[in-house]
Amino acid sequence: MSSTVSITKVFTFNSAHSLPGHPGNCKNIHGHTYHLEVTIRGPVNPDTGMVMDFYDLKNLVKENIIRKLDHCYLNDILPCVPTVENIAVWVSRALQDKLPLYKVKLWETPSSCVEVYAGDV
């Protein structure tokens, strides 16, 4: 019998953005070092002992997310106002058809993050 488990891979990327219409300093161009946690959930494959190889998960996220967002101006990339909430939703939507996505957690600062569950996007 196979168990269902969650695995998480953590990534870091640097990007700049501005929040048009924001009443504070965030209306100006500024940058963050984002920390992205991608969690997938599924049965443990009895042949491999894994839900997914971390190497494959890393490559998939790097190709579909990190290479697109790292060292860029998010306002030019995303089709929405690039708040941390909208970035996390965008990441979730970009990954949901590519793997058994469970949750995306995106840290904008060491004390501020957002979580998006795959079933909610």
CATH number at residue 72: 3.30.479.10
85 catalytic residue (yes or no): no
Instruction: Tally Cβ neighbours within 10 Å of residue 107.
Output: 19
Number of domains forming the structure of the chain: 1
Active site residue 108: yes
CA dist., res. 88 & res. 110, Å (int): 16
Rounded CA separation 50/74 (Å)? 34
User: Does 86 have pLDDT greater than 90?
Assistant: yes
Whether 71 is catalytic is yes
Catalytic residue (choose from 22, 30, 63, 71): 71
> What residues make up the domain containing 72?
4-120
Which listed residue (26, 35, 72, 115) is catalytic?
26
pTM across the whole model: 0.94
Q: List, for residues 31-84, the tens digit of each pLDDT value.
A: 999 999 999 999 999 999 999 999 999 999 999 999 999 999 999 999 999 999
